[in-house]
Structure 1
Amino acid sequence: MFRRTKSETDTTVPAEPQGKPGGKGRPTPTRKEAEAARKAALRKPRNRKEASAYRREKVRTERAKMQDAMRTGDDRYLPAADKGPVRRFARDYVDARYSVMEFALPVLLVVSLVGVVFSAQFPWLAGIVNLLFLVMIVLIALDWFLLSAGLRKAVTMKFPKESTKGLGFYAVRRTMQMRRWRLPKPMVKRGEKPS
């Protein structure tokens, strides 16, 4: 008697709401939904098992955000040692240049391997290996000094009010890693000016 016909139900279905161009793209939650979400976030775990599961899940999500930030350079989720515009500038400064320290480990590994393998057959090779080690150490020290001094000068020009404490060691530590294994990932190409 009071049933609707099929044609009436089809016509009364509202169309999908169109969001405003500057809108958030989703409807505002009702008060009941917002309170339930807030209470769920504040709810304490009932036992140790739930607490450890909650803690593990929280650590896992934070670690995933941090790893993603290491790939993309998102400053919000980077570790405290890598956060801030000064640290980003230091990373870009290091990544934009070639460095002796970057290639020191592979070169020293090859030189020491050659010295160990062939020193019995060629006794004079030990002197050359020692000389190469000494030359590499001097080049690394010179590169370290030039990198620290250049970075400190560039940072004081770009960020005059920021402290440069610990920045040289941060840059040197990054330089010691090969470019493809650096984290956060390099955002500039070699030879490019850091922004």
Structure 2
Amino acid sequence: MIRYSKLKGFVAFRQYILAFHKYVNEPSIFSKFCSLFVITQSVGANSRDEVSVHVTPRPFEDEAPSASLRGAVDKSVACKFYQRLLLNAWRRSRYQLTTITESFNRQKEQINNLEMQITLLKKLNRSEIQKRDEALLEFQNTKSTLERIQHDNVNLCKNLESFKLGLDNNQKTLKNAEVEIKTFSEKLRSTEMELKEKSKENIKLTKKAEAECLA
């Protein structure tokens, strides 16, 4: 319950809404407030005249004031009420505008941050792609070098096998030659001995022949 002091003789808050409807011509607002509020008169303590405003309908005794006073009061109350509505609407709109502006600025800042992140990620992606291409090129070069080395290794292994076979054959030939040389050496020694024997015999025969000639 809301109490307004020093409003003796006011008829009802419903009449204020009627006046408000008369000056602002808003049937929707008028119907809403007329269905919710009613005002009653009461005399409070300490001899102060008060008017009680209830949010539910209450019975009240109508004490009609003069027409000029009622019109002036109705107009003043309607104007103040309308001003208060406009002020509240303006405050709400300003608060909403501030909230929307702050939200827009936050979203704009987030968008800028996201754009910066996207730019950095694109640069990082290009750098990684370049590194990947360089790594692939190096891999291809290394693979080609490895294949060439493997091919050379196979050829070297074949050549080594052939060299081993040739070495074995040469060793066999050398052994055979050594045997033949040994045989030839023995034959040469025997031949030399025979030649020495024959030379001795020839010397003896020569001396014998000379001796016979002298005789």
**Fold match (TM-score > 0.5):** no
Please identify the structure whose Cα radius of gyration is greater. 2
Structure with greater contact order relative to length (CA < 8 Å, sep ≥ 6): 1
Smaller-chain TM-score bracket: under 0.3
Which has the larger share of strand? 2
